[in-house]
Amino acid sequence: MAEIRLQSQEERSWLDPFRNLGIGLTNWTIRYVPDAWVIAVMLSVTIFIMALVWGGVSPIAAVQAWGKGFWALLALMAQFSFSIVVAYACAAAPTVSRFLNRLGSVTNPDKPWQAVLFMVLFSCLTGWINWAVTIIMSAMFVPYLARHNPKTDYRLLVAAAYAGIATMWHSGLSGSATLIVATPDNFLMKTGILTELISVDRTIFSNVNWMLIGVSVAIVAVVFFALTPRPEKAFTLSKKELDELIVSATAERPAKMTFAQKMNWWPGWNIICGVACLIYMFMMFRERGLSAWTIDMYNMVFLTCALFLTGRPIIFLNACKKGVLGAWGILIQFPFYGGIFGLVSYTNLGHVITEFFTSIANERTFLPIVYWYSGILSYFVPSGGSKWAIEAPYLIPAAKSLGISPASVTLVYGWGDMLTHLIQPFWAIPILDITKTSFGQIAGFCAALFFIYAFIMTGFMFFFPLGL
């Protein structure tokens, strides 16, 4: 594919300072921020030293606390890894690819702003449904939408595709923190940090969350509408270049099949498993209502969708194999975050950090502080689930001491976790890979959105309900 051309003198505009800032942040990240696993080890060493200084333990006791927590997140690790695999299988199903092609023709090709807003709504909706789905499906939708809307700036479409994971996912059905506290036998319940489960009707489906979702979508839509360049200044790709970006999980069916191959192609296996999952989920929701929505139930929903969308075992398995590639980071990092959890939870360090937060905040400033603290830490630890294992052991007790409910701090943590995603390329990597774009090419749009988005959302945090 041809390289993105540089702006000419005539094309330069007021957006350039934001583009330059975004590119500068990206270059800084590339140069100074190491791999996520290295960051996990660096944090482990840092927290280990903090446990020695403020946790009141000897080096041997600190190692024991680290080892005790090292495997504490195995269940969570498996759940999140499974989420990635089945979400990718859903997004890469051939039926989904055909649907995306039809959906791309909905907007008016002579009005680029329509395609941009449609991409924003699509990525935010899929982001609310599932973080892994929006990464894959939004990226896959870009070439279809660009092909039907040849006057729309391709870079802005990619930036809009990133909006779902950058501003919406942790407020939705796949929010790590909100699902963890709703799942029975989670690590916070086992260690006594939580004394009761927090059902999703107090977090994901609360009125304040719906309000913040509406505000967030409106901000993204208005900013990206304003950033839409005129057709004569838009960067576009040729139809041939766009066709090369199409992603779909397929399998070549042999003309003459053996018995084993026939079994691999028989759709009945997918149907049997899918129907069994549907029956089980129906029974659980009928019995428990919204409280049945946990990480396990969420994974079963997307497993069922993947089975029906792919249609045949061979296609389902091919899609899952590709999805496994996206799970390796979780598999290798989560034990180390479990070790950090152990150092915080099984030494006095958690109490020290709790006292620090309560000393610098009151009941009205605590949640805005949590919002920014989580956002800044997310720049270096972009995994919302593993970072929650680090923060929850001291944020929840600190919130309780100020009379703030665990549900409120959990939801604010989720919104804060997304705060710096717009200027951190970690979650953009799969989208950029599929769309064959560099982060520098979308960084200006994302940086412009970040400053407006962060300012408005921070204001709302000062009025966030304390007793969800």
pLDDT of amino acid 8 = 43
Contact between residue 431 and residue 162 where contact means Cβ atoms under 8 Å apart:
yes
Average pLDDT, the chain: 84
Q: What is the pLDDT of residues 400-436, one digit of tens each?
A: 989 999 999 999 999 999 998 888 766 777 788 778 8
Whether pLDDT at 305 is above 50: yes
Mean pLDDT score, 54-62? 90
Tokens of residue 231, six digits: 């057709």
How confident is the model at residue 377, as a pLDDT?
79
**62 or 294, greater pLDDT:** 62
Lowest mean pLDDT among 2-6, 318-322, 413-417: 2-6
466 vs 37: CA distance, rounded Å: 35
Separation CA 347–CA 61 (nearest Å): 8
How high is the pLDDT of residue 124? 95
Helix, coil or strand: residue 370: helix
State residue 453's pLDDT score. 94
Other CB atoms within 10 A of residue 34 CB: 10
Please give the average per-residue pLDDT across 430-445, as a whole number: 79
Task: Report the percent of the chain where pLDDT is more than 90.
Answer: 34
Place 171 in a pLDDT band, splitting at 50, 70 and 90. very high
- What is the per-residue pLDDT for 195? 87
User: Which residue type is seen at 266?
Assistant: W
Task: Please give the pLDDT value at position 444.
Answer: 79
How many Å apart are CA 403 and CA 415, to the nearest integer? Answer: 20
Can you tell me the distance from the alpha carbon of 192 to that of 195, in angstroms, rounded to the nearest whole number? 6
12 or 102, which is more confident? 102
Residue that wins the pLDDT comparison between 37 and 272 = 272
Average pLDDT over residues 333-347: 84
269 pLDDT above the threshold of 70: yes
Q: Is residue 280 over pLDDT 90? A: yes
CA 88 to chain centre: 13
Going by pLDDT thresholds of 50, 70 and 90, the confidence category of residue 454 is very high
Read off the tokens for 418.
């997304």
Lowest mean pLDDT among 5-9, 161-165, 217-221: 5-9
Interatomic CA distance for residues 41 and 339, integer angstroms? 10
The span from the CA of 4 to the CA of 266, in Å, is 45
User: For 256, what's the count of Cα atoms within 13 Å in the CB-facing half-sphere?
Assistant: 0
Q: Is the pLDDT of residue 5 over 60?
A: no
CB 180 within 8 A of CB 296: no
Residue 364 buriedness (CB in 10 A; 0-12 / 13-18 / 19+):
middle
- Whether pTM > 0.85 for this model: the answer is no
The predicted-structure confidence for 121-169, as pLDDT tens digits, reads as follows 999 999 998 887 888 889 889 989 999 998 888 888 999 999 999 999 9
pLDDT at 44: 87
pLDDT in the model for residue 341: 81
Q: Which residue has the tokens 């705060």?
A: 419
Does the pLDDT of residue 345 top 50, yes or no? Answer: yes
Residue 177 identity (one-letter amino acid): A
Alpha helices in 33-130 (DSSP H): 36-54, 59-70, 74-91, 94-103, 112-129
Distances (CA, A) of 13 to 8, 9, 112, 225, 230: 10, 9, 18, 16, 12
DSSP character at residue 195: S
pLDDT at 10: 43
Can you tell me the distance from the alpha carbon of 292 to that of 47, in angstroms, rounded to the nearest whole number? Answer: 35
